[in-house]
Amino acid sequence: MGTVSSIGTNEDWERFFDYIFGGESGYVYSPTKDPETGSFQKYHFQWPQEKAAFFRHIETHTKSREVYYAPALFASRGAEKEDFKGSYFVWCEFDGNAPDAVEGIPEPSLKLQSSTSGHQHWYWKLDGFVYDIDVVESISQKLAYHLGADTGSWNGNRVLRPVGTKHHESGNTVKVLRWDERPSSIADFIGLPDMPIKVVDADDIKTIPLILDVIAKYPWPPEVFKFFKEPTMPKGSRTSALTKLGHFCMELGMTNAETLAVFYHADERWGKFKNRNDRKRRLVDLINYCRARHPVNPVGEEVENRFKVYTFEEFQNTDFQLEWLLPDLLHKKGLFIIGGPPRVGKSQTSLRFAEKMAKCQSFLRWEPTRPIRTLFISMEMPGEELKHFMDIMQMEDTNGLLKENLLIMPLGHSIGLKHKDSQTHLNKVMEKYQPDIVMMDSLGVAISDDMSSDKIVLDTFKYVNESLRNEFGAAVWFIHHPRKEQIGNKKPNKLDDLYGNRYISAAVTSAINLWPVGDEIEVSCLKMRMVKEFQPFRIRRSPTLEFEISSSKMSKDAQIFHADQADNVGMSDGGMVGM
């Protein structure tokens, strides 16, 4: 509750870092920077075993170098996001514009003045150690945008200045303005508004145009162009100058890549991030900050490219081609549903599909064209339940293809597919792992809202179509449930029997249904947009949850169709069903 004016002894540092890291163990990342050249040196210390060495490191280097540390612990002597172990804190950093108060969220546990007035680091102590970097980053990012803080300070491996160290440019020592040991809960931050834009990562901008092309393209107002050409910018105002320049770029209608070209050119002269290893990321963070205040402007491509129109001849000469993942069942960017009543084996069948596709092995009546990478998102079963079923399934990874191509996300709860924040985090997963197929168990839990609502379903499928299918090129596979049995419909196994809004059945490109028939399961076709529908056939489930076709009880029509498939008979006239 009290205020500490200065900290600079081992005893003080021990109190401070015990508060930051608590009783957890891991590795502390504490880089230093030469204040003249901007060059960084990286240091790691095992916590708490190397606590004394860590404090000597701070005491020694702060005399001549800028000293930083990450308010998170790492699982190894690394500081990449994949090394993140966990943190007790979320935070934000103010570059001279710290507000006097906050509204709608708890007061920060810690307020540190990092240099001159207004340059502050705010920390919120959480009531538990958070192992999920996405949770830490999501809250920190929302705090930054909500409070107008530095938008580059939210990443989970962010470094800040520890108390008692010297800020060499100002000559000031980092001091404590507020210290309140009462923790906050994650629920205290739920009310923070979602991000107003699609957040861009540094890797999202692949090609940066030439600055002369950018200058020639836009009608620069004379006062803006004069500001852009300034040869130098005083220290302490360089970040605000780049931000001001970014707002000008947004108002002129520049894309992110064009804005980055302008930033690079100005930063070469102004020198804010010029010699930093994270220069591109910091400049892109500024773009995100500026873009959030100009959300109507284009985030990616130019406006004229959003709705591309082809003449007939141009379209005929495009390289659009349908690429099958499972021939005659699922194609790249396809939207697939496997339906059926509870306990019929939808999840188990889907996992077998994922296993066989990963190993490029045939399953039931379909054979993948190549090893297929699948991300299975389990929302109906938490990790221990999913692991139980997968142990029974006895999947064997003899050639390493399962390790490479079968990815598991064992949530045990809704992913919140209709929420912008969840979409942002799922996009990061897609960017990192690049799956060919995203399997979600199940559609209802993924949405977790009124599935009869046009708006809810259309908004959800807008994201599925625009991001997962078109932007990332993945096929999407939903496990779904039918409507309950009713008088006059004791076997709800038709396309119209899929639970929820009619748009669901209209949107899918292919759908199959599983239905129990004695000790067997009938596999029927609900919809095939690109090929002829197949006739129903039956499968058996073994004690190890393996599935095989039960040819002895296959209908005559199904046997004929199965033989035709074996001979690679093509689509017959009128075979385009469900358009």
> Is residue 175 classed as helix, strand or coil in its secondary structure?
strand
Distance CA 483, CA 495 (A): 11
Strand 84-95, strand 119-130: pairing: antiparallel
Domains detected in the chain: 10-189 (3.30.70.1790), 202-304 (no CATH), 324-566 (3.40.50.300)
DSSP 8-state secondary structure symbol assigned to residue 398 = S
* pLDDT per residue rounded down to tens, the chain (579 residues): 444 444 455 678 899 999 999 899 999 999 999 988 878 899 999 999 999 999 999 999 999 999 999 999 999 998 888 899 999 999 999 988 899 888 889 999 999 999 988 899 999 999 999 999 989 988 998 898 888 888 767 888 899 999 999 999 899 999 999 999 899 999 899 888 876 666 677 777 878 889 998 999 888 989 899 999 999 998 878 888 998 999 999 888 888 899 999 999 999 999 988 888 778 888 988 888 787 766 543 333 333 455 678 889 888 888 788 999 999 999 999 999 999 999 999 999 999 999 999 999 999 999 999 999 999 999 999 999 999 999 999 999 988 999 999 999 999 999 988 887 788 889 889 888 999 999 999 999 999 888 888 888 998 999 999 889 988 899 999 999 888 776 667 778 888 888 888 889 899 999 999 999 999 999 999 999 999 999 999 999 999 999 999 975 544 444 444 444 444 333 332 333 333
Query: What's this model's pTM, rounded to 2 decimal places?
Result: 0.49
Distance CA 309, CA 170 (A): 56
Phi/psi class of residue 551: alpha, beta or left (left: φ > 0; alpha: ψ in -120 to 50)?
A: alpha
Q: How high is the pLDDT of residue 566?
A: 41
Closest CA to 68 of 160, 176, 152: 160
